[in-house]
Amino acid sequence: MHLSVAATLTLLSTFMGERSSTAIYTDIMGCEHGCEVVATGWPFVFVRDYLGMSVVGTADILEVWFAADKMS
């Protein structure tokens, strides 16, 4: 019971409170050594915007399921 509540709250946290994070994407020119992207998740960032795939400046769990964003 507690685990399912915690998992649900964690997944819902990706829809609010976006912040930034440094991500390294070796397949994107300019991000081989890291670039600043929008990130989300609580208590730790676990979803990052994947440049070139998702709507720029957004990150949430639905985009991960559609393979447009990346999990950390």
Q: What gap in Å lies between CA 14 and CA 47, rounded to an integer?
A: 7
Q: Name the burial class of residue 29, with classes exposed (0-12), middle (13-18) and buried (19+) by CB atoms within 10 angstroms of its CB.
A: exposed
pTM beyond 0.85, yes or no? no
* Domain boundaries of the chain, sorted by first residue: 2-71
CA dihedral 27, 12, 17, 61 (to 10 degrees): 10
pLDDT confidence of residue 52: 67
Mean pLDDT for 28-54 is: 83
Encode pLDDT of 18-39 as tens digits.
Answer: 788 888 888 888 889 998 888 8
How far lies 14's CA from each of 20, 28, 31, 34, 36, in Å?
Answer: 13, 24, 23, 22, 18
